[in-house]
Amino acid sequence: MKVLSVASEMFPMLKTGGLADVAGALPGALAPLGVQVRTLLPGHPKVLAALDAGAKVVAEWPLWFGGPARLLAGAAAGLDLLVLDAPHLHDRAGNPYLDANGRDWPDNAQRYAALAHAAARIGWGELKTWKPDVLHVHDWQGALVPAYLHYLGNGGNGGKKQPATVLTIHNLAFQGQFNAAVWPQLGLPDEAFSMHGLEYFGDVGFLKAGIQFADAITTVSPTYAHEIRTHRDGMGMDAMLRWRQAAVSGIVNGIDTEVWNPATDALLPARYGAQDLAPRLANKREIEKRFGLTADDSSPLICMISRLTEQKGIDLVAQHIDAIVATGARLAILGSGDAGLEAALRAGAQTHPQRVALRIGYDEPLSHLLQGGSDAILVPSRFEPCGLTQLYGLRYGCVPIVARVGGLADTVIDANDAALKAGVGTGIQFADVTAEGLLEALRRAVQLFRHQPADWLRIQRNGMAADVGWRSSAAEYAALYARLVAKESHK
């Protein structure tokens, strides 16, 4: 099975979000299952710099809207890459999507159309030496690939079999919608600018095109796959997704269980395993020291590691700091984002200096310490395609307290009475992302922590035993590819 993954970013070369982690982890997880993955990336300076010395030019494909472009094949960080090297599109340092002022690059439509078109050419066999069975494209940046295959495939490939296509949606909030003025730059026939093609309320919709034409549409958890088909969470795409219902499924993300392993994590002052959680106390003391919180072993130390946005429910926390402190919990918050939310949290921390502390910034080592020493991690998101911090929490015995949405609902088992009796709870969920829902969840956490230490320990250990790696999710992707290829060969 040969798969071309088409992504706009990939860990460890270039990362702005979870897409990069998935693109970086899946090839390694799929290899033992007999799936060979090559990844097509744009030639961002960081990607070109990471390519090893053996990289070769395998095609020269000047762009139809002008400018040279070539395709490089090589490896970086042990990953098998194809890189679209079109300097006028991608030779820009910094964030791949935004200019120095934080605005979308004005030619983003052309930039990712060029990437998708190159993927389609590889897909219909122009490389001669390597032709994928499946094109697995990610988010709006890859979403034109199924459209190019649909409209140009038969012309370009002399009638050869098309590869199957999978579109993975990592966050439906980003849809790649552009003014119709970009249309002539996309190299598609005019008939494609219609309701049944790429047109979306008068604009050009890249993600819409992918939803329209991909053979399979996945997102990063089963619950999010359901939610995006509802009016409430569908962000204007729900009707399309309902129409493609039979093609939609959810596969949860895994985490790197080597990087995130409390038994070997060099970023922790004290390492530990599920058998003996006592060393976590030394980590907690270090957090209290670094955050300036008073040690109080009757009060659970609850961390948050998050972008500070409304999606993540940070406003709710900021507005109810007094009530949160009144539950008996202490808060250590690490994050950055919305300036207003930062200010509101800072004010809360000033009111409760012993009980609430805030660190603004992005600090990977500190995030490990927080997972390795806090009693719990709070994730009150309004929507959450998959979420990673609750998975790290499970692995580190840092009990996740989560809103019952998206991937949070799928990866945490609520430790209600029945679950406690059955010995299966791994965290605490709350259904309503409201002050009352949040406070009730915190009260339950404080009660369990303070008065039911055996149950608390059981919850921690259940979480640490949960399967949060990539193995089972990779098997689901492999099974999906196999189903699509079998279907394609019967066409």
What's the closest the beta carbon of residue 172 comes to ligand ADP, in angstroms?
12
Continuous segment of H or E residues that includes residue 359:
strand 356-360
Closest CB to ligand ADP among 36 and 261? Answer: 261
Stretch touching ligand ADP by CB under 6 A, among 82-90, 380-388, 427-435, 443-451 = 380-388
What's the closest the beta carbon of residue 487 comes to ligand ADP, in angstroms?
31
Check binding of 362 to ligand ADP (CB under 6 A). Answer: yes
How many helical (H) and strand (E) elements, i.e. helices and strands, does the chain have? 20, 18
Continuous segment of H or E residues that includes residue 75:
strand 70-76
Check binding of 110 to ligand ADP (CB under 6 A). Answer: no
Total Cβ atoms within 10 A of residue 414? 20
* Cβ contact 240:212 at 8 Å: yes
Check binding of 388 to ligand ADP (CB under 6 A). Answer: yes
User: Binding ligand ADP by CB under 6 A: which of 389, 429, 462, 473?
Assistant: 389
User: Binding ligand ADP by CB under 6 A: which of 363, 440, 455, 476?
Assistant: 363
Check binding of 307 to ligand ADP (CB under 6 A). Answer: yes
Total Cβ atoms within 10 A of residue 467? 13
Closest CB to ligand ADP among 169 and 305? Answer: 305
Check binding of 18 to ligand ADP (CB under 6 A). Answer: yes
Task: Calculate the dihedral angle through the C-alpha atoms of 374, 469, 403, 372, rounding to the nearest 10 degrees.
Answer: 0
What's the closest the beta carbon of residue 474 comes to ligand ADP, in angstroms?
18
Check binding of 380 to ligand ADP (CB under 6 A). Answer: no
Check binding of 374 to ligand ADP (CB under 6 A). Answer: no
For residue 40, CA distances in Å to 43, 85, 136, 490 come to 9, 11, 10, 28
User: Binding ligand ADP by CB under 6 A: which of 364, 417, 451, 454?
Assistant: 364
For residue 446, CA distances in Å to 325, 341, 389 come to 11, 25, 20
Closest CB to ligand ADP among 233 and 363? Answer: 363
State how far the Cα of 45 lies from the Cα of 178, in Å rounded to an integer. Answer: 25
At residue 65, what is the residue type?
Answer: F
State how far the Cα of 426 lies from the Cα of 395, in Å rounded to an integer. Answer: 10
Closest CB to ligand ADP among 243 and 362? Answer: 362
What's the closest the beta carbon of residue 360 comes to ligand ADP, in angstroms?
8
Check binding of 336 to ligand ADP (CB under 6 A). Answer: yes
In degrees and rounded to multiples of 5, residue 253 shows phi and psi of -70, 150
Copy the structure tokens of residue 16.
């702005």
Closest CB to ligand ADP among 363 and 476? Answer: 363
User: Binding ligand ADP by CB under 6 A: which of 380, 387, 406, 425?
Assistant: 387
* Cβ contact 224:386 at 8 Å: yes
Cite the DSSP H helix spans in 265-306: 280-291
Stretch touching ligand ADP by CB under 6 A, among 83-91, 360-368, 398-406, 464-472 = 360-368
Closest CB to ligand ADP among 308 and 321? Answer: 308
Tell me, rounded to whole angstroms, the distance of Cα 290 from its chain centroid.
29
Check binding of 306 to ligand ADP (CB under 6 A). Answer: yes
Total Cβ atoms within 10 A of residue 23? 29
Closest CB to ligand ADP among 180 and 259? Answer: 259
What's the closest the beta carbon of residue 221 comes to ligand ADP, in angstroms?
11
Copy the structure tokens of residue 196.
């049944």
Q: Residue 228: name the closest of 4, 383, 81 by CA.
A: 383
Closest CB to ligand ADP among 85 and 315? Answer: 315
**15 annotated as belonging to a binding site for a ligand:** yes
* Cβ contact 372:262 at 8 Å: yes
Query: What's the start-to-end Cα distance of the chain, in Å?
Result: 18
* Cβ contact 410:381 at 8 Å: no
What's the closest the beta carbon of residue 306 comes to ligand ADP, in angstroms?
5
* Number of residues near ligand ADP (by CB under 6 A): 16
Check binding of 243 to ligand ADP (CB under 6 A). Answer: no
User: Binding ligand ADP by CB under 6 A: which of 27, 250, 262, 335?
Assistant: 335
User: 350, exposed or middle or buried, with CB in 10 Å at 0-12, 13-18, 19+?
Assistant: exposed
Closest CB to ligand ADP among 22 and 47? Answer: 22
Check binding of 36 to ligand ADP (CB under 6 A). Answer: no
* Pairing state between β 330-337 and 356-360: parallel
At residue 325, what is the residue type?
Answer: V
Closest CB to ligand ADP among 145 and 344? Answer: 344
Which residue numbers belong to the known binding site? 15
Interaction site with ligand ADP (CB under 6 A): 17-18, 305-307, 334-336, 362-364, 367, 386-389
Positions at the binding site for ADP-alpha-D-glucose: 15
